[in-house]
Amino acid sequence: MSKVSKSFSPKRLHESALAAFLLMVLTFPAVAQGELRAPELGSVPAVTAMTINEALQYAQGHQPELRAARERFLTVSAEARIASAQWLPSVGAAVELVGSSVNNSTATGLAARYAELPRIGGTAIQTRPRWQPYATTLAAASLRQEVFDFGRIAAQEMADSALIAIERNRLQAAHLDISLLVVQGYYAVRAAHAVAVAAAQAEERAKVHRDFADVAVKAGLRPPIERTRAAADMAKYTVGRIRADGNIRIARSVFAAAVGYPSAELDAADSQEPSVPTPTLAQVEQRALANLPEVLQARDQRRAQHARTAAIDATLRPNLYASASVSARAGGAPANGGAVSEGRGFLPVVPNYDVGVVLSWPIYEPVVNAAVGASQQREWAFEAEFTAAQQRARTSAQQAYGRMRVAESALEALAQETDAARSNYEQAEARFRAGLGTSTELADAEALRLDAEVQQAVGDFELATARSQLKRVMGE
């Protein structure tokens, strides 16, 4: 993973996007994109641009966090298939060469993990044990098949399948988080461009005012302070334009990281988004409780733990399985009749087979009983967490809905404020050119206009962000 991807996290990128936009607002104000003509920004090189829909689609297939979330989901899905494999037959083999003493046994077998063999043969019983070693050889293959599990395997499968639902909710949450970051990054780039346009236009106006003041001072129509004030304004707006150009590159880098784009920067292309009617608060709360991955995850955790309790308890049920094996063996110790096998235990020449059905039943296991009690306690904890998640979802829905309503209501007033500030600036500029106003009066009008324009830009950004956050709360 690259250096950028290695340090990426949705939370950190969210903070970076907000910090980048705040930096734009503090360094220089922006105006509404539709009311500006774009100046030449030669210091900012052009890069690949995407619309909001293109960026969202690209992020679905290339964002590293989403790829990691999908791999985690596929991992849990693969692990859920382990329990059902217990129904498949298991086959094993073993070959042994053992040297040992034999007291009441002529064939000695070590415990073989993959071969189940009955004990066959016996030696004469002695009043005193003898320590003379004898050889034993053994070669065997066995097969074991589950016959009836009394619901044990099914309980394990249900517990594992419940974990798939939890990981699916986490994957959906990752999709929503990345989509939110992409949308915020997109509008941060658009705001950065608006800042750059506003900065360049302010610099152009300041240059015109400076040249006008310079001519007027030289003609004796204005005092020298008019020229120095205009020069100071010109320098201020030049600094604002330089910072705005730099902020475009910062916003582009944040946008590229959110999308998972391989280049260092990604630009935001113009796009027309359909107007979607705002749902009511009741609809927002209802969708949040029904679709929000965090709520669904808390619900599925409770279900998964209940299935886990049933799976633990099912280990106390009986188990019925069939076993069959074929073997060849020989023991070097003399049998009860005094006969010694050919090869004296070094050649497995005695064939045997066995077929059996085994019923095992762990009747009392205090450790398992304690584990069942602990799992039930965790069920109650997840039940409480589910209730808390529902409450958090309602609160988040109410807050997101309130923020969007405030942003919508503020836009109309902000537009009126911007129009009034621009009219005031035009009047101040006309007075300045007619010789009736001063540079100070014109600078105050410029500051009022820029403040209104930045509030308009912030309002647009807040509305776009509030809408994306509302969609996130509704799980859309």
- Give tens-digit pLDDT for 124-176: 656 676 777 777 777 888 888 888 888 888 888 888 888 899 999 999 999 99
- Give tens-digit pLDDT for 205-222: 888 888 888 888 888 888
**Residue 293 — very low, low, confident or very high, per pLDDT cuts 50/70/90?**
very high
- What's the confidence (pLDDT) of residue 256? 93
Q: Is the pLDDT of residue 8 over 80?
A: no
Tokens of 279: 């749902």
Q: State how far the alpha carbon of 210 is from the alpha carbons of 203, 242, 446, in Å.
A: 10, 19, 14
> How far apart, in Å, do the first and last CA atoms of the chain sit?
29
- What's the confidence (pLDDT) of residue 123? 58
Q: Domains in the chain, start-ordered, CATH in brackets?
A: 3-82+155-304+372-473 (1.20.1600.10), 88-149+317-365 (no CATH)
**Residue 6 — very low, low, confident or very high, per pLDDT cuts 50/70/90?**
very low
- Give tens-digit pLDDT for 173-190: 999 999 999 998 998 888
- What's the confidence (pLDDT) of residue 35? 36
Look at residue 340 and give its three-state secondary structure. coil
Q: State how far the alpha carbon of 270 is from the alpha carbons of 52, 106, 187, 355, in Å.
A: 8, 89, 10, 76
**Residue 335 — very low, low, confident or very high, per pLDDT cuts 50/70/90?**
low
Q: State how far the alpha carbon of 444 is from the alpha carbons of 69, 93, 223, 397, 449, in Å.
A: 53, 93, 19, 42, 9
Q: State how far the alpha carbon of 433 is from the alpha carbons of 84, 212, 337, 428, in Å.
A: 87, 8, 132, 9
- Give tens-digit pLDDT for 402-438: 999 998 888 888 888 889 988 998 898 888 878 788 7
